[in-house]
Structure 1
Amino acid sequence: MSKQLVFLFLALAATACRPDQVEHLKDTKRIGVETANWEVKRIMPQDLLRATRWAGDTLTAFADTLLRRRLARGLAAGGVAASLPLCRPETYAATDSMARILQATPRRVSARPRNSAHLAALPASEMQPDTLRVVKRPSQEVFVYQRPIVLNNRLCLRCHGEVGKDVSQADYALIQKAYPQDRATGYQLGQVMGAWQVRLTRPGVAEFWTMKTRKKWKEHKMPKLF
């Protein structure tokens, strides 16, 4: 190749690759996420059951965290009288917001409830320590999650412990006035008090599986060539 052709080739290459003539893609991270959402994914039945457990754990752990925080503030501010109305984490607005995202309906039940509306027959085989989860699919479109509620916070003894020892007589009078059929006292640390039960729909479970298993998009910047 002649020197003239070599110089011409180098000149054209330099002109074609000038930085001011390179058009960079913008918002590549968003594009990558949206592209992942468009991918058709096959979700197997066992995947949906696994996602049901993930969703149930996420929702109930979130609600329990809110409950502990509010009870601590309520007891510190006004004792049992102030905290008694707070012991309904399934009704919190923040819990409801998460439940709507998951298309789930949570509730708390017990064989010895404070509120008789929460009475439920719970087999002893399903009321083991907190590591136990029960996940079922009663129909094609419905999934059910359940896990035990364990009294593992001493704050809860103020309302659910032994009357005369953990629960003062004055506080127990307040509890009986609000809940005349109360059966939720006499517990000790580590005992199972009841269960979280969450009903979920198939679309909600499938969407949660997709979100949990989606590949994390990493933006790869163009190397600096010049």
Structure 2
Amino acid sequence: MSYLFRSLAGFLLLSALLASCRPDQIEHIKDGKKIAITLDKMVVKRILPADLLRATRWAGDSLTRHADRELRRVLSEKLQAGGVAAALPYCRPETFASVDTLERTMQATAQRRSARPRNAANRASLTATALQPDTVRRVARLNGDVFTYQRPIVLDDALCLRCHGEVGKDISTTDYALVKKEYPQDQATGYRLGQAMGIWQVTLQRAGVAEFYTMKTRKIVKPRKPLF
């Protein structure tokens, strides 16, 4: 019985001491959030082969989606400003500065390929499966240091019909004359909304894939809530 009273008394004393501590009396480590982030970066993370393939898909999606968004933004501006003549030189998102920056960060090279290209240099033999709009992204590891990513390029914006739709209907004969002058071997017309025009192909180095995986899976330290 005496033991029970002593335990109860000790508990009550500890509770009283904790209750007496005000929030402003708690000392926090200076720059604790920055220190936690730095320490997390220093932790050596084990990355499995399956993780690298998953990161290849993440990186490929991130890079090509950014390129597609930039292409739509730039073409919209150029078409509004000067029509097809102004937009035609910019239908090459793989050459945009912001895309190049991402490529260097990810140690990647992105290219567009098509069986019916506008630029003959982008011609490639593609299977029907590769061009299915709902095809799951294809990722592979060619060797210990090189990964590949592939997905279809789908014409999902009516804006693109101004240069890639049906001549005489979506594309004026005057505008198509400009296209043929710039690209004499053009085959990239006659497309409809929802149709695959080609594929994105991305080659990535292991170091870039591993770094992207680390960044994507790194624990984010949430800001500390004010004490009062």
Q: TM-score range by the shorter chain?
A: 0.7 to 0.9
> Within the alignment, does 1:53 sit opposite 2:57 as a pair?
yes
Where does residue 169 of structure 2 map in the other structure? Answer: 165
Q: Report how many aligned residue pairs link the two structures.
A: 209
Mapping of 1:103-142 within 5 angstroms?
A: 103-130=107-134, 132-142=136-146
C-alpha distance in structure 2 between counterparts of 1:134 and 1:199, whole Å: 12
Q: CA deviation at 1:139?
A: 0.8
C-alpha distance in structure 1 between counterparts of 2:131 and 2:22, whole Å: 70
Q: CA deviation at 1:25?
A: 2.2
| 1:80-131 Cα distance to aligned partner (Å, 9 max, x none) | 0000011000100011011111111111110100000001111211211145
C-alpha distance in structure 2 between counterparts of 1:155 and 1:221, whole Å: 46
- Partner SS, residue 126 of structure 1: coil
Where does residue 154 of structure 2 map in the other structure? Answer: 150
Q: CA deviation at 1:219?
A: 4.6
Q: CA deviation at 1:221?
A: 6.7
The answer to whether the 8 A contact 2:23-2:227 is kept is: no
The answer to whether the 8 A contact 2:129-2:135 is kept is: no
**Match of residue 37, structure 1, among 33, 38, 41:** 41
C-alpha distance in structure 1 between counterparts of 2:222 and 2:95, whole Å: 38
- Partner SS, residue 142 of structure 2: strand
The answer to whether the 8 A contact 1:111-1:194 is kept is: yes
The answer to whether the 8 A contact 1:130-1:147 is kept is: no
Question: Aligned in 2, Cα 1:40/1:176: closer, same or farther, shift over 3 Å?
Answer: same
Where does residue 216 of structure 2 map in the other structure? Answer: 212
* Structure 1 unpaired stretches of 5+: 1-12
Query: TM-score with structure 1 length normalisation?
Result: 0.86
- Partner SS, residue 129 of structure 2: helix
Where does residue 201 of structure 2 map in the other structure? Answer: 197
Q: CA deviation at 1:132?
A: 2.3
Question: Aligned in 2, Cα 1:191/1:25: closer, same or farther, shift over 3 Å?
Answer: same
The answer to whether the 8 A contact 1:141-1:202 is kept is: yes
**Aligned letter for 1:141?**
D
- Partner SS, residue 210 of structure 1: helix
C-alpha distance in structure 1 between counterparts of 2:194 and 2:22, whole Å: 70
**Aligned letter for 2:36?**
G
Percent sequence identity over aligned pairs: 63
Where does residue 9 of structure 1 map in the other structure? Answer: none
Question: Aligned in 2, Cα 1:21/1:89: closer, same or farther, shift over 3 Å?
Answer: same
The answer to whether the 8 A contact 2:110-2:201 is kept is: yes
Query: TM-score with structure 2 length normalisation?
Result: 0.86
- Partner SS, residue 125 of structure 1: coil
